[in-house]
Amino acid sequence: MRSVELTPHPQFASNAAEHVEVAIDRGPGGVLTLSYVVTGRMSGLKTPPRSAPTRVEGLWEHTCFEVFLRAPGDAAYYEFNLAPSSQWAAFAFSGYRERTDDPDTPAPFIDAEGGRTRFELRAALDVGALRGLPTDGPWRVGLSAVLEADDRTRAYWALAHPPGKPDFHHADAFALSLPPPAA
């Protein structure tokens, strides 16, 4: 498992989170496992209550954790939204924000737990059947989090932020090269 730190967007600081770290692993058969750990004043972090693991759009409007995947040099990519409620979304794009048919993927495993100073969301996604992602080569990955505070303000965390407003779809946000699983 590889761990990376996310950074807050300079124009949208969090009044709850102080640090966000993500552990990511690309396992055999295309299973991607993720663990997002947020530390800070968790009493100020607004998280949706647990619900049925259903596919829902608009999760990014509240506390939500995201992963973007694409093949190196390819304009097409996938986006997955993972909510602490266990709701999720999956989208396919042929290019920058050019949405195509949503991928037919199985529901991811999502589990979340929090305490006074720490919140963790764990997820496992089966992405092995997604077209365009090489099975034997690296993937470009974007990792991000939208953290909603009790006052309804949102902070945007990512591996990298392009200039201007928060934009997790921007090519600069795909800042991690994830190698294939070890044989």
pLDDT averaged over every residue in the chain: 94
Is the four-CA dihedral 92, 97, 67, 57 of positive or negative sign? negative
Tens-place pLDDT, residues 98-121: 999 888 889 999 999 999 999 999
Rounded Cα gap, residues 47 and 146, in angstroms: 11
In the chain, what are the domain boundaries?
2-178
Rounded Cα gap, residues 141 and 42, in angstroms: 27
Residue with tokens 């947020």: 38
Tens-place pLDDT, residues 41-68: 999 999 989 999 999 999 999 999 999 9
**What is the torsion angle, in degrees rounded to the nearest 10, for the CA atoms of residue 20, residue 26, residue 32 and residue 35?**
-20
Please name the fold of domain 2-178: Immunoglobulin-like (2.60.40)
How large is the greatest C-alpha to C-alpha distance in the chain, in angstroms?
48
User: Which token pair is 73?
Assistant: 């040099």
Residue 7: band (very low, low, confident or very high) from pLDDT cuts 50, 70, 90 = very high
DSSP 103: P
Name, in order, each residue with C-beta under 8 angstroms of 49's C-beta and a sequence gap of 6 or more: 85
Q: What is the mean pLDDT of residues 157-178?
A: 96
Looking at residue 119, its pLDDT comes to 97
Query: Which segments within 50-87 are labelled E, that is strand?
Result: 64-70, 77-82
Is the CB of residue 86 less than 8 Å from the CB of residue 50?
A: yes
